[in-house]
Chain A
């Protein structure tokens, strides 16, 4: 049996009390982060990277990624189309995955696209890691000081991580669970992924703004599943300031960072180190359960179980709003086409999206209806598109019947 710690047990272990620290009193005055490492200050809600050189690396990486995603990807797909044509196949034809990969994989432009992606990502992670691990004591002290600060609860449950969660998705060193600074890496790394357009959590704010409210208008408790570094959690709190907002993630270093960031921003939200498929919250506890790009990073079994868990912890009338890449992955019009195979191969193999194929073949949205939600999903009747939907009617919505 795993040994479970909580914020309370950590506080007791270090001789303090939660009440004395003011942790469990929603609305208490904001405590300043005690050991804030911020040598170059902040730009809005984002702490600037701690050195000019690292900031410039990040800047260069973003520009290079935009080139890879733009010109180089277009060149790669043009080559793929030419190669497919030489085999008598159009990009929109349905052919086998194995044949497609076999035909295109030895082309140098297509190889360059994947190699550039992989090398750029490797560089980015290594430079970030060099900073955080090179100053291990300082950054660990900052986390430890935040652990013991409020507002908001932080609950850590060491040892709960199943094997499937331990992969280095996106080639992130150590993955979400295995690096003490996974949250730091993820936050700045994904700023790069978003091509520099999410430095102020714009995407998360848009998504939080798009979550439909229960018909009775009551939003007292909200849970964001797979919250990573907590950007949607803080965005939800800002939309619903009177609600108790929780974020959970299986990466303990991720929720530590998320908590630290929320403390630093003075936003009263709570984090629990937990699996989305086994949250530990009581039946009917929440009015709203959200997730953002979670389902494509879990196994098929976990994806379906997450839907069941959301149904269990929502109260009648509560809403479930999972947002992911492709609103209906198993219902795309381009499913099984040659060009889709090329893209899926690159995503799964060369961006190390370990559970991508599970995602494409698991009807977790259908499961929303099967477990008893009333499903609203315009996307199932439409066409999938290759981006994370910023909200709106194409995202699936489950409403738990009253």
Chain B
């Protein structure tokens, strides 16, 4: 049936969830989880590098030298806001480590699926 959210029709239906989330590829779910972390970290690293490239390019256009970036001292408000953002990053990297099931196994999963 089509769903509504509040009184707004979304035209979305119920759906059949894939079981791939329940699979362990490396025989130990915690190794799988570590791989997820590494992928997320790589992603985050590139996101930040790209933003930094843009920022530094814009700053250079305005005459801000790299030394000024190195020596910058943050305000308390900035520290607080950045800490909040840092915590979101930590959650993104580590929150899936509570996955503790390996209902299906990569090596012996195939059963006519």
Contact = CB atoms under 8 A, between A and B. Distances in A.
B9 interface: yes
Interface in B1-48: 1-3, 5, 8-18, 20-21, 23, 25-26, 32, 35-36, 39-40, 42-43, 46-47
A120 B32 CA distance: 12
Contact of B54 (A52, A161, A349): A52
Nearest to B11: A252
Interface in B82-113: 106-110, 113
Contacts of B25: 111-112, 114-115, 118
Taking chain A's interface residues, is the majority helix, strand, or loop, or is none over half, making it mixed?
Answer: helix
A182 B110 contact: no
A119 B32 CA distance: 9
Given A177-B12, A349-B109, A53 B51 contact: yes
Nearest to B8: A140
A99 B9 CA distance: 48
Given A108-B26, A345-B110, A168 B50 contact: no
Interface string A278-314: 0000000000000000000000000000000000000
Given A105-B108, A136-B5, 9 more contacts: A52-B54, A56-B51, A111-B107, A112-B25, A116-B35, A120-B39, A166-B13, A179-B15, A349-B113
20 contacts: A52-B54, A56-B47, A56-B51, A57-B43, A59-B46, A64-B39, A105-B107, A108-B26, A116-B39, A118-B23, A120-B39, A166-B14, A168-B17, A179-B15, A180-B3, A180-B12, A252-B2, A252-B13, A256-B11, A345-B110
Interface of A: 52-53, 56-57, 59-61, 64, 98, 101-102, 105-106, 108, 111-112, 114-116, 118-120, 122-123, 136, 140, 144, 156, 158-159, 161, 163, 166-168, 171, 174-175, 177-180, 182, 252-253, 256, 273, 345, 348-350, 352
Interface of B: 1-3, 5, 8-18, 20-21, 23, 25-26, 32, 35-36, 39-40, 42-43, 46-47, 50-51, 54, 106-110, 113
